[in-house]
Amino acid sequence: MPMPDLSLESAFTGLIAGVDEVGRGPWAGPVVAAAVILDVKRLPTGINDSKKLSAAKREALYDVILASTRSGIGMATVEEIDELNILQASLLAMRRAVELLGVMPDIALVDGNHAPKLACKVKTVIGGDALSLSIAAASIIAKVTRDRLMCELAAECPGYGWETNAGYGTKTHQDGLSKLGVTKHHRRSFAPIKALLEKELLRA
């Protein structure tokens, strides 16, 4: 399989940031985005789409990427997801990630087909985490950040399996909801959680 490279980046001049988010699908927890500006003289080796890497490889690359790039991490909370909808919350998290870079890039290469509102040019790239080294690096930072956060939330709210399912609707998560109910970390606007809350209301 071809690895992401700098072909997309080479079409532009100035500061180029790769932007990606993780956590649109889960039933619980925030959505997390990262923005990364690579230093071409200090490119970490082994960067790939975070979905194609093992957890151990992502963890190892996380520290290397943070140490050799300019990075920003942004989030949108469960409350913001429920208020705005998941797409708008994802775009908000991306904007926050870019704003936390400490410098405004000349262009942001954004994974997907929806552009966040930024103070710089934006190019959306479908499947960007498999094509662009900058986006792939951002995907790793976003994924590791969110996975670690879900492990912390799992310690706070045991029984849902968030340390392994990251908030996705697995059987463990569904069993936890049946036994323990909905927590403050669940996305109440998501259909399965909404349905559970409605059932609870009917029982009350």
Considering the domain boundaries, does residue 33 fall inside one? Answer: yes
Considering the domain boundaries, does residue 34 fall inside one? Answer: yes
What tokens appear for 148 in the block? 């670690």
Considering the domain boundaries, does residue 1 fall inside one? Answer: no
Q: From the CB of residue 87, how many other CB atoms can be counted at a distance below 10 Å?
A: 13
- Please name which of 137, 139, 104 lies closest in space to residue 22, comparing C-alpha atoms: 139
Q: How far apart are CA 68 and CA 78, in angstroms?
A: 31
Considering the domain boundaries, does residue 139 fall inside one? Answer: yes
What CATH code is carried by the domain that includes residue 38?
3.30.420.10
Q: What local confidence, expressed as pLDDT, does residue 196 receive? A: 93
The sign of the torsion formed by the CA atoms of 90, 93, 99, 101 equals negative
Q: How far apart are CA 99 and CA 93, in angstroms?
A: 10
Considering the domain boundaries, does residue 4 fall inside one? Answer: no
Q: What local confidence, expressed as pLDDT, does residue 68 receive? A: 96
Total domain count for the chain?
A: 1
Considering the domain boundaries, does residue 168 fall inside one? Answer: yes
Structural domain boundaries enclosing 179: 9-203
Considering the domain boundaries, does residue 3 fall inside one? Answer: no
Considering the domain boundaries, does residue 184 fall inside one? Answer: yes
Are 121 and 29 spatial neighbours (Cβ–Cβ below 8 Å)? no
pTM, 2 dp: 0.96
Q: What local confidence, expressed as pLDDT, does residue 203 receive? A: 74
Q: What local confidence, expressed as pLDDT, does residue 200 receive? A: 80
Cα dist. 23→109, 120, 144, 166 in Å? Answer: 19, 25, 11, 8
Average pLDDT for runs of 10 along the chain of length 204: 92 97 98 97 94 95 97 98 98 98 97 97 97 98 98 98 98 97 97 92 74
